């Protein structure tokens, strides 16, 4: 096995026993990036010198007897998370060459553990998209089939993990942007509960929906990464001061007595691919064989979730993105005009079509005379969706459903049809509206060899239940062990 193929758990063991050094591991991963990323295009920026310097510092830390689970581990970061002194563009031309003067809390936390930051991964512009085709710089390709999308908006992070160009990565999830690319690329992806992980330094798309989370090669690695980044942060007013359990310690064998809810509404969703249904049904049988009890539950307001989301998210985006005006920071149109023309030309040239579309939708929904009819009504629907989940969790411990209606689609197939593209998030965005944790794990492959993911949803701040179920499913299957042939 090559060093870049190691899991975080195995790499930590070898580092701790001094079988390998962090510099050796980091160089192997950097060489892997150089060998395959020209075909995948997962990275926007690779910081080789900085990564090797951090690896040397990690080796010194290990030599002094301090080796935490992420010490010396090469990781990648979605380019929507601020990194001091390293470009953070959010995949947008309007922030081209922007250097943040501070790092996000999650980056500071990873730095304290001695993790190695390889660079920034590609994404849909300002996290708006489901395919990473909305990046202002380039398209990322799915390592399993280079003619297909990796999902989005964290497609660069998912593709980098799947192609062994890092041992783990951070993404962000506003409506499925960790879980859907994890499904398309056969990685593990977790969206924590809203408030579990600090959003300080995460460039905002929709502030009431955004959440940072890990993408990894297996469930144990996901737990280790969540251990490192979870916890209260006084710099983030949406952070919740709740106790953080040892997620790695929650990975216990056995599912006997666990109640797994199967939402009946998801089975009849529009555009459901037969191979996805079969893979999920097989996963249900596997989990039942391990002692879990499955029961049908209802989430009756699921049919309104997509419409509510695409009112709330664009409305919040319209407000958050008003700051990019060519005055404070970022790109400004070079030609000289009056102030209003400068605003107009800067934003028209700096933002891509999808971002402009959502800003316009959001501004309309928030405008006088329409706020109550659209944003107000969508907020009421959101409350009903929260209540649906609360009622479902009275009779079950975890919900199980697909991540996406179909495997990864071809590049360019849906880019000109926004409504069809939005349906890619039909199973994932309810979790963001409700603020509950959601997780994607590999559960099969289509006849064309494309990955299929299984989604687990849990109660607020009960990520350990998701990890436990996922860990037990992973123990008796080998989907997570397969790697694309690059």
What pLDDT score was predicted for residue 171?
98
Is the predicted pLDDT of residue 337 greater than 80, yes or no?
A: no
Tell me which residue of 111, 174, 122 sits closest to 149, measured CA to CA. 122
Do 220 and 251 form a contact (C-beta atoms < 8 A)?
yes
What pLDDT score was predicted for residue 328?
84
pTM beyond cutoff 0.85: yes
Segments of 178-263 assigned E as strands? 188-191, 212-216, 259-263
pLDDT tens across 33-44, in order?
Answer: 999 999 999 999
Identify the sign of the CA torsion 283, 430, 131, 228: negative
What pLDDT score was predicted for residue 268?
72
Tokens, residue 481:
């062990």
Average pLDDT over residues 29-53: 98
pLDDT tens across 174-191, in order?
Answer: 999 999 999 999 999 999
Q: At what angle do helices 274-289 and 463-475 cross, to 10 degrees?
A: 90
Is the predicted pLDDT of residue 469 greater than 80, yes or no?
A: yes
Phi then psi dihedrals of residue 189, to 5 deg:
-140, 135
pLDDT tens across 277-297, in order?
Answer: 999 999 999 999 999 999 999
Tokens, residue 300:
């009756």
- What one-character-per-residue DSSP string does 105-132 give? HHHHHHHHHT-EEEEEE--SGGG--SSS
Given the structure tokens 């060489």, which residue do they identify?
A: 31
What pLDDT score was predicted for residue 40?
98
Distance CA 219, CA 247 (A): 10
Given the structure tokens 């408030």, which residue do they identify?
A: 195
Active site residues: 78, 153, 177
Identify the sign of the CA torsion 4, 43, 216, 286: negative
* Chain-centroid distance, C-alpha 217: 14
CATH code of domain 3-254: 3.90.1300.10
* H runs (alpha helix) in 41-154: 48-63, 105-113
Is the predicted pLDDT of residue 336 greater than 90, yes or no?
A: no
pLDDT tens across 91-142, in order?
Answer: 999 999 999 999 999 999 999 999 999 999 999 999 999 999 999 999 999 9
């Amino acid at each position: 096995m090559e060093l870049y193929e190691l899991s975080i758990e195995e790499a930590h063991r070898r580092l701790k026993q001094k079988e390998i050094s962090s510099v050796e591991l980091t160089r192997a991963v950097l060489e892997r990036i150089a060998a395959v990323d020209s075909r995948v295009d997962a990275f926007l920026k690779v910081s080789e010198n900085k990564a090797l310097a951090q690896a040397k510092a990690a080796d010194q830390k290990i030599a002094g007897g301090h080796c935490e689970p992420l010490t010396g581990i090469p990781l990648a970061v979605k380019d929507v998370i601020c990194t001091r002194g390293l470009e953070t563009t959010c995949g947008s031309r309007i922030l081209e060459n922007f250097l943040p003067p501070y790092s996000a809390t999650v980056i500071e936390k990873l730095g304290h553990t001695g993790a190695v930051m390889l660079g920034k991964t590609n994404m849909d512009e300002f996290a708006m998209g489901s395919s990473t085709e909305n990046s202002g710089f380039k398209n990322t390709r799915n390592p399993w089939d280079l003619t297909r999308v990796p999902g989005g908006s964290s497609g660069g992070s998912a593709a980098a993990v799947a192609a062994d160009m890092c041992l783990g990565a951070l993404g962000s999830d506003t409506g499925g942007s960790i879980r859907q690319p994890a499904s398309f690329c056969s990685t593990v992806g977790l969206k924590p509960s809203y408030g579990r992980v600090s959003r300080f330094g995460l460039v905002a798309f929709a502030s009431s929906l955004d959440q940072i989370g890990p993408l990894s090669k297996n469930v144990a690695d996901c737990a280790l990464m969540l251990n490192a980044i979870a916890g209260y942060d006084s710099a983030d007013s949406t952070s919740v001061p709740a106790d953080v359990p040892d997620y790695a310690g929650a990975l216990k064998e056995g599912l006997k007595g666990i109640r797994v809810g199967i939402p009946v509404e998801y089975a009849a969703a529009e555009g459901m691919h037969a191979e996805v249904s079969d893979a999920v049904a097989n996963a249900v049988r596997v989990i039942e064989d391990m002692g879990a009890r499955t029961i049908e539950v209802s989430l009756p307001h699921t049919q309104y979730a997509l419409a509510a989301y695409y009112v709330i998210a664009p409305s919040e985006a319209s407000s958050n993105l008003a700051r990019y005006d060519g005055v404070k920071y970022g790109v400004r149109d070079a030609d000289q005009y009056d102030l209003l023309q400068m605003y107009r030309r800067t934003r028209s040239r700096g933002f891509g079509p999808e971002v402009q579309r959502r800003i316009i939708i959001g501004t309309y929904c928030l405008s006088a005379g329409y706020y109550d009819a659209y944003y107000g009504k969508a907020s009421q629907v959101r409350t009903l969706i929260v209540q649906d989940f609360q009622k479902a969790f009275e009779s079950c411990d975890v919900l199980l459903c697909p991540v996406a209606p179909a495997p990864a689609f071809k590049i360019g197939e849906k880019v000109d049809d926004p409504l069809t593209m939005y349906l890619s998030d039909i199973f994932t965005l309810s979790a963001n509206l409700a603020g509950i944790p959601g997780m994607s794990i590999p559960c099969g492959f289509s006849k064309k060899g494309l990955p299929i993911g299984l989604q687990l949803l849990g109660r607020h701040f009960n990520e350990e239940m998701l990890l436990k179920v996922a860990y037990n499913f992973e123990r008796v299957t080998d989907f997570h062990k397969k790697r694309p042939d690059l």
